[in-house]
Amino acid sequence: MAALAKPIFQDEFISKQSRWQMHLVWGLLATLAGAIGVIAYLIVARPIRMGILETDRYGNPVGAIQPVTATGDVPTALVNAFICDFIGKALTITTDWNYDDHLYGMLLGAPGRAGWAQGDANVWLRNFYLNAVHDPRKLYTRQSQQAKVTSVIKLPTDDWYEATYTVYALARNDDKVTSTDWKATLRVRWAEVTDTDQYGLYVSSLQMQQESK
């Protein structure tokens, strides 16, 4: 007995149903991929913000989250590394002005980006560079220079640190390195970690002076 042929309309219905199911699956996958992308952005791309939430004795919130500005809970090693990097960049002079200018942009700030020195520290450092003795725009044609931090001490006052360091200078066409000892007093504050600033710290007050021999 010959097999009965399936009605044409049934094959068309099954084909349309399969296509609709495939479209649904791909739509769900696209939605899921978009959701994963948003979550990844929130976790990775957005800056990390630290905050303190005040609670009562039962653990219930009693106020809004306040931003962390003190460095008391920041690991000491991180603060010390930041201070060493800050002073090193602040006093680095090479024969490549483009490189030096990039460093000073990190310290003083650039369009769309806050510097490591903010507020009073930014003003102090700009005035320091305006002195012809320390002006990197004049010195880079005559010498190269770098600073090495030898110690960092946390002072009793919150967020204040004292760093001692040595500045080594080498004049052009000379093989004799000269050195001078310096001391800096800095107030380091907590900001936020971003893609361009992995420390999440900045200096709000600054004093640097050469030690007398």
Distance CA 83, CA 203 (A): 9
Token pair belonging to 120: 């009073």
Say if residue 82's pLDDT is above 70.
yes
CB-based contacts of 108: which residues, under 8 Å, 6+ apart?
A: 115, 117, 122, 125, 126
Q: Which pLDDT band, with edges at 50, 70 and 90, does 31 fall under?
A: low
Q: Please state whether the predicted TM-score (pTM) of the whole model is above 0.75.
A: no
pLDDT of residue 203: 94
Distance CA 184, CA 203 (A): 12
With both helix axes pointing from N to C terminus, report the angle between 120-130 and 97-108 in degrees, rounded to the nearest 10. 150
Contact 56, 66 (CB under 8 A): no
Q: Which pLDDT band, with edges at 50, 70 and 90, does 53 fall under?
A: very low
Token pair belonging to 144: 């190269």
Q: Which pLDDT band, with edges at 50, 70 and 90, does 23 fall under?
A: low
pLDDT of residue 172: 82
Q: Has domain 70-210 been given CATH number 3.10.450.230?
A: yes
Count how many residues are written for the chain. Answer: 213
CB-based contacts of 64: which residues, under 8 Å, 6+ apart?
A: 53
Q: Which pLDDT band, with edges at 50, 70 and 90, does 197 fall under?
A: low
pLDDT of residue 176: 87
Q: Which pLDDT band, with edges at 50, 70 and 90, does 166 fall under?
A: very high
Q: Which pLDDT band, with edges at 50, 70 and 90, does 43 fall under?
A: very low
Rounded (5°) CA angle 122-127-133? 130
Pick the closest to residue 123 from 65, 192, 207 (CA basis).
207
Q: Which residue has the higher pLDDT, 177 or 54?
A: 177
